[in-house]
Amino acid sequence: MGVAHAASAQQPLPVQAGTAWMHAHSGITIPATLGDLARMRATSFVEPQLDISQNFGSSDGQQQLTIYIFRNTNGSVPLWFAQAQRAITMRDDLKNPALAIPPVAFTPPGRAAGSGLKAVFAPTGVEGVRSTGVALFAVGDWYVKLRATSATLSASELSDWIETALAGITLPRAAAAPALPAAVQPIAGCDAPLTFAPEATDSALAATALTIGVQTPAARLKPAQWCLDSVVGGNRAVYRPDGTRDRYLLATGDNGKALAVQPQAPGGYYSVNFVTAAQTFRLVAQDRLPSPQRVLALVDGERSVGATSTWPPR
């Protein structure tokens, strides 16, 4: 599969009608009825169960819930929550909805206090939608995201409904998170955006496939805190470890896919890795920190020097 076409291969997720379903890898169990709504559809985006969703709805279409589980390969709860929040604001059918309840920490069922984030919007002039919101938290090596939309509930009522619905799923006992020093916080902007002049070019090291570090993916970026550097366009945004200016993560949507850019020493080059749920694509090494536009051009130009399977984890 080419790096530019590393998109999700959507297919039905096998579930048994009227029966709860357990996620094979995390042990999270989703009931057949969630928030008093029946399961309408189940979808797998990346097999085997690395990115899935289940949709629940009322018969009249006035209430809808969608729960997602996707693999935690990078980023953080605040980062992917910011991506989920931006995805809502970008929807044409919601007409740039007003934020009624700004991002706030909450306690998911069976999780550490304040380990999740949620927000609610109140669209105006949108037929059949009075409120819509999103919540996200982590369970071990997995992210759980819930989207809720209602034609009748107020923003505050929908906020409560989100937590009621989440209480309906069952989390594995072994996944109980340790206490956090403080509740997670919505992501904040970086002090100043990165600049890229002159633009990066291919590193001389890219001439050989034997270069150590180009043969294998770079180590995962794991900062204590991320900040939002810039929005490139659409739902593509640059995040970097707070306090750094030589590395970043370019999120390309709201389901965990991202481009990780960072310096490599020894070597004297910058690695560019496209991280997906099941594979990491290694793109051509760069001679200095490349701009997001340069990185996206590498993807569009199929400038991959190889791919490494990351599932099952080793």
Cis ω for the linkage preceding 103 (within 30 of 0): no
List phi, psi (to 5°) of 88. -70, -45
User: Is the C-alpha dihedral spanning 136, 139, 142, 144 positive or negative?
Assistant: negative
Q: Are residues 155 and 218 in the same domain?
A: no
Q: Residue 162 is encoded by which pair of tokens? A: 């989100």
Average the pLDDT over each of 93-102, 147-156, 198-207, 209-218 and give the range with the smallest value.
Answer: 209-218
Instruction: Inform me whether the pLDDT recorded for 229 exceeds 80.
Output: yes
Identify the pLDDT of residue 202: 94
Q: Are residues 248 and 147 in the same domain?
A: no
Span 238-262, average pLDDT: 97
Q: Are residues 128 and 260 in the same domain?
A: no
Task: Using CB atoms within 10 Å of the CB of residue 256, give its burial: 0 to 12 exposed, 13 to 18 middle, 19+ buried.
Answer: buried
Higher pLDDT, 207 or 300: 300
Find residue 120's DSSP bridge partners. 101, 133
Q: Residue 101 is encoded by which pair of tokens? A: 């309840």
How large is the greatest C-alpha to C-alpha distance in the chain, in angstroms? Answer: 61
Average the pLDDT over each of 115-129, 180-194, 277-291 and give the range with the smallest value.
Answer: 180-194
User: For residues 37-75, b (16+ Cβ closer than 10 Å) or e, as one string?
Assistant: bebeebbbbbeebbbbbbbbbbeeeebbbbbbbbbbbbb
**Domain-embedded: residue 102:** yes
Task: Using CB atoms within 10 Å of the CB of residue 154, give its burial: 0 to 12 exposed, 13 to 18 middle, 19+ buried.
Answer: middle
Which of 175, 205, 235 represents a domain boundary (last residue)? 175
Looking at the 3D structure of the chain, how many domains does it have?
2
pLDDT level of residue 4 (50, 70, 90 thresholds): low
The parent domain of residue 64 ranges over 3-175
Span 183-207, average pLDDT: 91
- Residue 82 — left, alpha, or beta (φ > 0 → left; ψ -120 to 50 → alpha)? alpha
pTM of structure: 0.94
Identify the pLDDT of residue 178: 56
Q: Are residues 139 and 268 in the same domain?
A: no
Instruction: Inform me whether the pLDDT recorded for 1 exceeds 50.
Output: no
Instruction: Inform me whether the pLDDT recorded for 148 exceeds 90.
Output: yes
**Domain-embedded: residue 182:** no
Percent of all residues in the chain with a pLDDT value above 70, rounded to a whole number: 92
For the stretch 69-82, pLDDT in tens is 999 999 999 999 99
Q: Are residues 214 and 245 in the same domain?
A: yes
Instruction: Inform me whether the pLDDT recorded for 20 exceeds 60.
Output: yes
Which of 145, 175, 205 represents a domain boundary (last residue)? 175
Q: Are residues 146 and 194 in the same domain?
A: no
**Domain-embedded: residue 181:** no
User: Is the C-alpha dihedral spanning 95, 96, 98, 102 positive or negative?
Assistant: positive
pLDDT level of residue 9 (50, 70, 90 thresholds): confident
Q: Are residues 260 and 135 in the same domain?
A: no
Identify the pLDDT of residue 179: 57
Which of 175, 210, 245 represents a domain boundary (last residue)? 175
Question: In angstroms, what CA-CA distances link 197 with 109, 162, 259, 303?
Answer: 47, 45, 20, 22
Average confidence score pLDDT of the chain: 92
Enumerate the H helices of 27-177 as residue ranges. Answer: 77-90, 155-166
Identify the pLDDT of residue 209: 45
**E-assigned strand segments in the chain:** 11-12, 21-22, 29-30, 33-34, 37-46, 51-57, 63-71, 98-106, 116-122, 131-139, 142-150, 188-189, 226-233, 236-241, 248-251, 258-264, 269-275, 279-286, 304-309
Span 95-113, average pLDDT: 95
Q: Are residues 97 and 195 in the same domain?
A: no
Instruction: Inform me whether the pLDDT recorded for 210 exceeds 70.
Output: no
Q: Kindly report the CA angle at 112 between 107 and 118, in degrees rounded to 5?
A: 30
**The CATH number of the domain where 80 resides is what?**
3.40.1000.10
Q: Are residues 120 and 194 in the same domain?
A: no
pLDDT level of residue 103 (50, 70, 90 thresholds): very high
**Domain-embedded: residue 157:** yes
Q: Residue 232 is encoded by which pair of tokens? A: 């490139």
